[in-house]
Amino acid sequence: MPALVTLWYKVKMHVAIIMDGNRRWAVARGLPAAEGHRRGVGALRSTVRAALASGVSVLTVYGFSTENWAREPSEVRALMQLCAIFARTELASLRRQGVAVGVVGDIAEFPRPARAAIARLVRATAHNRRLKLNLALNYSGRAEIVRAVRAIAGEIESGRLRARDVDESALRRRFYAPHEPDPDLLIRTGGDFRVSNFLLFQLAYTELLTLSVMWPDFNEGDFARALAQYADRCRRFGS
């Protein structure tokens, strides 16, 4: 592990990551897109280690968006298989390291092997407390908000909720991960400057950091440098 990861402070914070650049990394090397995604799993493994070493409490990663269904069928199939493989092969390590895995999104559309493997991973790690790893799978920030609004509308229609009692907290309670704090830092690899429909409500006052490194090349040193940059920022939350 690079020495840079051993920071002089321990950071109790929520870091979100848009893991971008897998396909571009593969194309640059004359490899199929699936190989870029496969190598990206190694980057996620390194990032989990770095988060644990830094004392980060919540790590939320964007693994598969609702828009990703529009990609080539072969790439989508490879991503579904990779989800299942990750859930099976990483279970023992994540459980041993004290990582609890959660899902942000609706995986009902995933193939049965992927759904079953992910569900088993979530159950097997539920008791862990060192780090919460949220996998954003079949996730859309807009869809999450619409889903919450529909739930609220249904409760108002049935008389279980009054319109005057609807506030930000009421909306948040109907999100996929209602008890998670908002991200303190969003890291996007791959060099692009956009949030890509990720945690739209939750990112209101999140610090944003875009890195040119492609996700398969992202490592513990990159994570530590991102935290160091975050530590130099002054968060005012609009005040």
Residues serving a catalytic function are 20, 68
Both tokens of 208, joined, read 């944003």
Q: How many CB atoms lie within 10 A of CB 198?
A: 24
For residue 92, the one-letter residue type is: A
Instruction: Round to whole Å and give the CA distance between 237 and 206.
Output: 9
Return the C-alpha torsion angle 146, 140, 202, 95, nearest 10.
120
Both tokens of 126, joined, read 């539920």
- The DSSP call for residue 177 is S
Q: Give yes or no for a contact between 15 and 185, defined as CB atoms under 8 angstroms apart.
A: yes
